[in-house]
Amino acid sequence: MPPPLQPLPALEPQNQRLPGLDAVRGFALLGILLMNIEGFNGPLWLSGAGVEPDQAGLDRLLDTFIYIVVQGSFFPLFSLLFGIGFALMGQRLRARGGAFTPIHLRRMGCLLVIGLLHGLLVWSGDILLTYALLGLLLPAFDVLPKRWLGLAGALGIGCAVMVMLLLAGLMAMMAASPDNQAFLQAGQQIQDAVQAQMQAYGQGTYWQAVKQRGSDLLAGLQNLFVIGSQLLGLFLIGAALMANGALADPAGHARLWAWLRWGAWPLGLLLSTLAWWISPFNPPWSLAFDSLLVQAIKLLAGSLIGLGWLAWGLRWQQLLRPLRAVGQMALSNYLAQSLLCTGFFYGYGLGYFGQLRRSEQVLMVLAVFALQALLSWLWLRWFNQGPVEWLWRAGTYGRFAPLKRTGPGA
């Protein structure tokens, strides 16, 4: 029998971490790299498009597995953890009589700067900038009763799905119109953008890559009206789980966790499989109804799978214990993944852009993550926080906390 879902330990002054959440965060970081590796190896806008037709054998099997199980489901898990962190920080500060909103806004401002630098200078697939912008809105939801936070989050996800479905219908009408020039031009513009990414990242200089990243970031921000609703909804669901005591008292919320494990998770996998069955490969320039319908299904499926991963991750937190150090340094490790992978793949680095098969990409993910797990464990034996976490905290509170431990960690 699986072990019972364990309650999160009470916070102690010497240790303000929640080890169970750190372990799940480490697991999420592995899934994020499995998702992102395709966007390092090739054009960013082609990553996550589905199972490429020219894949065969083990490469096709792995590509299918990642598309159904991983793609689009681990950034929802990270988003849930982000919302949990928001609620947890609010609880701590209010318990000490502190003002939460000004500190949160400074925290998001610092994250925005980190995300902007990451997106421009390292990798345009950055999610931190989006998190920071949406995170600025979270204090507005503090006025909601705790029991309404989860409902507001579900509505956010539902709105994102509806927008995608409306776009699918709109594009279908444009394609069927005798005057469909605008539809054709939109597809061609996306193809041109993908070609520009291939040129800049595969063969360009560092400065050419920076200019392309700026263009990519601006284009990505235009999608906030779709993905923003989903992410904000996931933030609120995560905050609701924390605020309503589901994490502190899982036994008292056993039915909720059981539904997430045995209801949301398999339902999400079923929907993701359905999306793959409808259309296995959906390049971004394909604005056909089927392609956009698949994106809507994947959006809902990814949110459900992400909720399931959270429930299963907390259930198996002892098995995930070796990933705690990675999760405790999640921001530093996320940025390090981008530095390592762009340095390996991009033309101004080692130049392996587009050269690794899917199976080789997976091997690289496992190697990079294993290295990060080891280095994170070693780092935290001597230091209290990851280096970027330390700087983020200093920017938030206006002072530097001690970084070095007084002795090796246990």
pLDDT for 393-402, tens place per residue?
Answer: 999 999 999 9
Instruction: Please report which confidence band the pLDDT of residue 173 belongs to, taking 50, 70 and 90 as the band edges.
Output: confident
pLDDT for 295-353, tens place per residue?
Answer: 999 999 999 999 999 999 999 999 999 999 999 999 999 999 999 999 999 999 999 99
pLDDT for 183-238, tens place per residue?
Answer: 667 778 889 999 999 999 999 999 999 999 999 999 888 888 889 999 999 999 99
pLDDT for 8-43, tens place per residue?
Answer: 333 333 345 677 899 999 999 999 999 999 999 999
pLDDT for 356-371, tens place per residue?
Answer: 999 999 999 999 999 9
pTM: 0.92
Cα–Cα separations (whole angstroms), residue 11 to 25, 90, 92, 95, 409? 18, 14, 10, 12, 18
Confirm if 234 and 76 have CB atoms less than 8 A apart: yes
Instruction: Please report which confidence band the pLDDT of residue 407 belongs to, taking 50, 70 and 90 as the band edges.
Output: low
Burial class (CB in 10 A: 0-12, 13-18, 19+), 38: buried
Instruction: Please report which confidence band the pLDDT of residue 94 belongs to, taking 50, 70 and 90 as the band edges.
Output: confident
Confirm if 279 and 188 have CB atoms less than 8 A apart: no
pLDDT for 42-81, tens place per residue?
Answer: 999 999 889 999 899 999 999 999 999 999 999 999 999 9
